[in-house]
Structure formats: C-alpha cells, structure tokens
Chain A
C-alpha cells in the first residue's frame, strides 16, 4: 500500500525566512509525486509533478526536489501570501489513484 508522510505538521515563518517541507513516501513503482497548495475553505491547487529522482521544479518562491524516498518543498524568502497548507501525493504503478499525506500548514508572518 502506498504511504505518504509529511513533516512538520505546522510551520510558522517570519517573512523572508526560508525553510523546507518534507514528504517521505513508499510506493510500488512511482509514476509521479505531486505537490498541491490548499487555502482555507478551498480545494487543492496543483503546483508540481516530479517523475524521477534528481528532478527539480520551480515556481516563484517554491522549489520542489525529489529523491528515491522523499521530496522537499523549499520556500525561499516567503511572503504572507505563501501561507497555506501544502499537500504531497504519490501515484503508484496502477496509474489510477493518488495517495495523499496529511499536509503541512505554513504560516508566514509579516
């Protein structure tokens, strides 16, 4: 069974204070690892897909990296608008379903 564990559960940052979120996973035949952003009261918003170890993707202040056992979401010089819950998910060999972690809630104070 595919499993995803995210840490920490919550992260409080000062504006400009860079940090990283961790997503550890076990999956039978990784087809993709996904990062989503979720704002309070809204649905998850797709950010990145990573397909193989060593791959990196960037979007504004966010950078996602992937190894064979974990992924990191680096937030560089965060702003208050980066406050959200970040979800990690994996797609295994069956190609049909995603398995999600519980998320990391990031709060950035001005």
Chain B
C-alpha cells in the first residue's frame, strides 16, 4: 500500500501560469481533501470531495478548482497562479465508517509562485 501520494513534490511557477496537482490514494477511501499549510496558520481546507464526481468548497477555495473523476484521484488546479498561492499543499483521504474520522495525508507539494 502506497497510501496517499502526491505529484509533483516541488514546483516553481511564474505569476499567471497554470498547473495541476495530482493526489492518488490506494486505500479505497470515499472522502478526499486538499489543504494548504502556511507558517503559523495551520492547515486550511481548500476543497474536498465526498465521492467520485462530487466536490465542495472549503475554507479558502478562491483561485483553485478541483475535480474527482475517479474515486482514487483528486486533482487541484490553479488557473492563474498568484504569489499568495505560494504554500505547501497536502492531500488527505478518509474512509466512511461510523466513529472513524481520521484523515491520512500525503507527503505534500511545495509550490513557489514568483
């Protein structure tokens, strides 16, 4: 089991460029999440998905789009990158089971926008 994997690990973009971050999980989890982590601010939820073909906005969705075409994959897109989107991005997933809410995280993608 690879768990949750993320590609790429690092990326540098120029302002206005676009990119897609890929998250994949092999645990057959229903729910998937995208977070960003900034110094002193903790993890903030960008978007999440409760199943294939469904997505919803989190706490900080502006400037990002997501898609969940397959159960095991969750894509995060930046259409026109801005320096404020410089951050570390984490994907997470969890199963749907009573009294089992823990999320499992990927290794992260460090994105710098210049």
Contact = CB atoms under 8 A, between A and B. Distances in A.
Interface stretch (A12-20, A39-47, A62-70, A75-83): A39-47
B99 A51 contact: yes
A100 B42 contact: yes
B45 A46 contact: no
A34 B102 contact: yes
A100 B43 contact: yes
A8 to B, nearest CB: 13
Contacts of A51: 99
Contacts, number: 54
B42 A95 contact: no
B interface residue count range (under 10 / 10 to 19 / 20 to 34 / 35 or more): 20 to 34
A38 B58 CA distance: 22
Contacts of A46: 102-105
Interface string B89-107: 0100000000101111111
B2 interface: no
Given A46-B102, A49-B102, A103 B108 contact: no
A51 to B, nearest CB: 7
Given A34-B103, A91-B101, 12 more contacts: A32-B99, A34-B102, A41-B108, A42-B108, A43-B107, A44-B90, A44-B105, A87-B43, A97-B33, A98-B45, A100-B43, A102-B40
30 contacts: A31-B99, A31-B101, A32-B101, A32-B102, A36-B105, A42-B107, A42-B108, A43-B4, A43-B90, A43-B105, A43-B106, A43-B107, A44-B90, A45-B105, A46-B104, A49-B101, A49-B102, A51-B99, A87-B42, A87-B43, A89-B43, A96-B31, A96-B50, A97-B33, A97-B58, A98-B43, A98-B45, A98-B103, A100-B44, A101-B42
